[in-house]
Structure 1
Amino acid sequence: MSNIDSIQTAAHYSVIVIGGGQAGLSVSYFLQQANIDHLVLEKHSVTHTWRTQRWDRFCLVTPNWQCALPGHAYDGADPHGFMKKDEIIAYLDAFIAKVNAPVLEGAAVTRVTRDAQARYIVTSTRGTFTADQIVVASGGYHTPIVPRMAERLPQSVVQVQSSEYRNADALPPGAVLVVGSGQSGAQIAEDLHLSGRKVHLAVGEAPRCARFYRGRDVVDWLADMRYYDMPVTDHPLREGVRDNTNHYVTGRDGGRDIDLRRFALEGMELFGRLEDFRDGKLRFAPNLRANLDDADDTYNRINASIDGFIEKHGIDAPPAARYEPLWQPSHERAELDLQASGIAAVVWCIGFTPDFGWLDAPVFNGRGYPSHMRGVTAVPGLYFVGLPWLHTWGSGRFSGVARDAQYIVDAICAERASAPDRVLLASPASRASITCA
């Protein structure tokens, strides 16, 4: 990585990339191939999130072969395994060294505006810069969601958000309430459960899928079915799929299903959606059975689509099977006395909201999400990359970000070629270095 320690105030770049995660570094990779001068501004340090916002036993939930950052496909000995946290960091470190991006770390962007000449003015904690074009690569998970009811919990109860959870021993002795059953919530609940902690889980509406089905990883089947190549415009939900919670499954111990019903048989206590806390009691919606059934319906529906693919193509595979519930709640508990339950900690796993308040551009919808077509906005010179379902399922993952970054850099080149007087505002020396293919 080409760290930049000192910057001249108001230095100009053809492109400024905001965010130094896998998306921003992927854009830098292709910008370098196009010989376009640029600067990557990173609030913390490159790939910071992978290093600081994952629990100790974290591992990938998709097989290693799907790790395909530009010029850096997984080449290890276990393509169908699931890299653990330290292995993921090693994979990223090798990518960082390979890209050698021009990065300014510790540069939190506080404002992006445009001047009368249509240049972007980028204000950061490490200086002010200008650019012809901006690529926002800071992701879409910025502000942890914690409900206001959390303010009413006793101070004796430790509260952490999923990005802060590390391991069971880091929490005080006693039972733990995990709120949310998406990908992080289900895996954190499992981590606590396997450590021997008493876990109460408030189950949300997250779907689930099988890890292995009919002799293969479900991801392998879906890849053959070209699901991961489906653009968001072809998805039945269209842009609505961006709001969907990820299916829960795990790569832990070689990969397996996460079955909350099995956990219930083993002593985990399941509830419906957490709705309130008052008079010393946690109050839950009576929707546990419905949420479990809906998750299983998705599980069986995905498997049925694989069955259809196998039949259509005459593939020799083990027989089909349908998941049947191992356990059903005999009744739905609407309340839980906090003190009597012995709950000493709460882990909030209900997601994040985007925060692009620093970007002054008319591209956001009512929920603060940017409107774009495959990362290209209606505002000249403004692009996004690394968002969930920006173009395909893999857009926010190692598997699909290279394709998106290449597309964005191609769009940058096309814009520069079509409007050179507007975008090429750098010095003559800098202009001469731009050779988009």
Structure 2
Amino acid sequence: MPTLSPSQLPSHSSVAIVGGGQAGLSLSYHLQQRGIDHVVLEKHHAMHAWQNQRWDNFCLVTPNWQCKLPGHEYSGSDPHGFMKKDEINAYLAGFRAKVDAPLIEGVTVRRVAPRAQQAGGGFGVSTSAGDFTADQVVVASGGYHLPIIPRLAERLPAGITQVHSEQYRNAASLPEGAVLVVGSGQSGSQIAEDLHLAGRKVFLAVGNAPRCARFYRGKDVVDWLADMHYYDMPVHEHPLREGVRDNTNHYVTGRDGGRDIDLRRFASEGMELYGVLKGLEGTTLQFACDLARSLDQADQVYNGINASIDKYIEKNGIATTEPASVYQATWVPAQERATLDLAAAGITAIVWCIGFQPDFRWVEAPVFDGRGHPGHVRGVTQQPGLYFLGLPWLYTWGSGRFSGVARDALYLAEKIDALRLREEEPNESAEDMPAYS
């Protein structure tokens, strides 16, 4: 089925999918398998985030074999490698062509709200191309909507260039001079490395993100964790329960075939590390004195994951070519530094890498908590017919990966089909109703 134009917006659809990324198209694939009428609405164009919100040297942090979108598994020659940005987009373009979803691009969904039963039930959907109704709605627009930039950014000197991680492309896109990267999660640590490798002077405000090894005892750590079923553990079985959804992902990289990201090594090579950014006074930034603790905690997680792999190897009698090992710090901060004068340090640009906030204000249903996050069980909300797909830890750690999205989409397709069949069952007539005395 060809991509539709906004003028072809239906007056009614059995299912409305909001979001044309890998999550929305994965669900479309499974709905097509079941012959369920649906439409996919995308504000920009399909796979927009992958094409427009990644830096030039971006690559996957999980090996290629984990790319298992429905009906479209990775089939290249390097299953244990890490696809680069252009390769990822080519893979996703192939998936889009294969799914051939009833997709309408360039349409913004402005409001989704349940309709009263006397008005026909289901949902009213208001869009930039007009309004329509749907029996069921799936929000597949992800959870990374509003870039987080602290208010102190408004008081920074006008001459300093500020970009969020979603806007960063390469070192040459920033003015000459030193660069401050704020945040050390996956994006922050990799962008700091990108700038460092390009020969730029980098200052990095380190947060509490954990880290893990790229390879350990002869195999990618992701391979070990998959063998150990870490990516299959449902959120309700995790020790932190739903609290795990607030965790920051471990930093590691697939660049140049994959390697650890070791901030201590960067520091020994000239990168300047600070603690968490706390404030601004004039041109002087203020930081928490927690750098040493953050580095130690990241290393503790690193060694803890490796120790769990050691136990798995020993328990299962697995032969390996490499012995167990423990990471030992190669650099420690001589002292905690609480301030940094931007002018004296020659900093001309800041890259904010402190994440995103969700923005589901257009979904008018009583399913959200005080922070704007939807309450759900495996994507199913308490509002009948309303679902979420493509969120981190929607069901498992793997939900944030291509293979996990495919599994989550299949589950929701089954739920959607079951509700559709129930609603299509004819109502019992009065004579069929049981009699009571």
Coarse TM-score class (shorter-chain normalised)? over 0.9
Partner Cα separation in structure 1 for residue 308 and residue 232 of structure 2: 16
Aligned positions of 1:25-424 closer than 5 A: 25-116=25-116, 117-317=120-320, 318-420=322-424
Aligned positions of 1:2-17 closer than 5 A: 2-7=2-7, 11-17=11-17
Partner Cα separation in structure 2 for residue 269 and residue 311 of structure 1: 40
Partner Cα separation in structure 2 for residue 407 and residue 6 of structure 1: 29
> Can you list the C-alpha shifts for 1:46-93, whole angstroms capped at 9, x where unaligned?
000000000000000000000000000001000000000000000000
Partner Cα separation in structure 2 for residue 139 and residue 128 of structure 1: 22
Deviates more, 1:283-292 or 1:125-134: 125-134
Q: Which amino acid aligns with 1:392?
A: T
Tell me: CA distance 1:304–1:131, structure 2 relative to 1, closer, same or farther (3 Å): same
> Can you list the C-alpha shifts for 1:300-319, whole angstroms capped at 9, x where unaligned?
00000000000000111121
Conservation of the 8 A alpha-carbon contact between 2:178 and 2:345? yes
Q: How far apart are residue 416 of structure 1 and its match?
A: 1.3
Conservation of the 8 A alpha-carbon contact between 1:180 and 1:201? yes
Q: Which runs of 5+ in 2 are unaligned?
A: 428-437
Partner Cα separation in structure 2 for residue 371 and residue 204 of structure 1: 27
Partner Cα separation in structure 2 for residue 35 and residue 367 of structure 1: 37
Partner Cα separation in structure 2 for residue 200 and residue 163 of structure 1: 19
Partner Cα separation in structure 2 for residue 327 and residue 125 of structure 1: 55
User: What is residue 426 of structure 1 aligned with on the other side?
Assistant: none
Conservation of the 8 A alpha-carbon contact between 2:6 and 2:107? no
Q: Which amino acid aligns with 1:309?
A: Y
Partner Cα separation in structure 1 for residue 56 and residue 425 of structure 2: 51
Q: How far apart are residue 9 of structure 1 and its match?
A: 6.3
Q: Which runs of 5+ in 1 are unaligned?
A: 424-437
Secondary structure at 1:55 match in 2: coil
Q: Which amino acid aligns with 2:16?
A: I
Q: How far apart are residue 140 of structure 1 and its match?
A: 0.6
Conservation of the 8 A alpha-carbon contact between 1:10 and 1:127? no
Conservation of the 8 A alpha-carbon contact between 1:64 and 1:80? yes
Q: Which amino acid aligns with 2:290?
A: N
Partner Cα separation in structure 1 for residue 373 and residue 401 of structure 2: 18
Q: TM-score, normalised by structure 1?
A: 0.95
Secondary structure at 1:399 match in 2: helix
Partner Cα separation in structure 2 for residue 200 and residue 288 of structure 1: 13
Conservation of the 8 A alpha-carbon contact between 2:212 and 2:250? yes
Partner Cα separation in structure 2 for residue 348 and residue 357 of structure 1: 24
Let me know the Cα RMSD of the aligned residues.
1.2
Tell me: CA distance 1:338–1:99, structure 2 relative to 1, closer, same or farther (3 Å): same
Deviates more, 1:349-358 or 1:9-18: 9-18
- Corresponding residue pairs, total: 423
Conservation of the 8 A alpha-carbon contact between 1:118 and 1:422? no
Conservation of the 8 A alpha-carbon contact between 2:6 and 2:105? no
Q: TM-score, normalised by structure 2?
A: 0.95
Deviates more, 1:55-64 or 1:123-132: 123-132
Q: How far apart are residue 8 of structure 1 and its match?
A: 5.4
Partner Cα separation in structure 2 for residue 193 and residue 388 of structure 1: 29
Q: Which amino acid aligns with 2:14?
A: S
Conservation of the 8 A alpha-carbon contact between 2:6 and 2:106? no
Q: Which amino acid aligns with 1:72?
A: H
Q: How far apart are residue 419 of structure 1 and its match?
A: 2.3
> Can you list the C-alpha shifts for 1:362-386, whole angstroms capped at 9, x where unaligned?
0001111111110011111101110
Q: How far apart are residue 158 of structure 1 and its match?
A: 0.3
* Structure 1 outlier segments of 4+, above 4 Å: none
Conservation of the 8 A alpha-carbon contact between 1:228 and 1:392? yes
Conservation of the 8 A alpha-carbon contact between 1:210 and 1:257? yes
Percent sequence identity is 67
Partner Cα separation in structure 1 for residue 255 and residue 107 of structure 2: 35
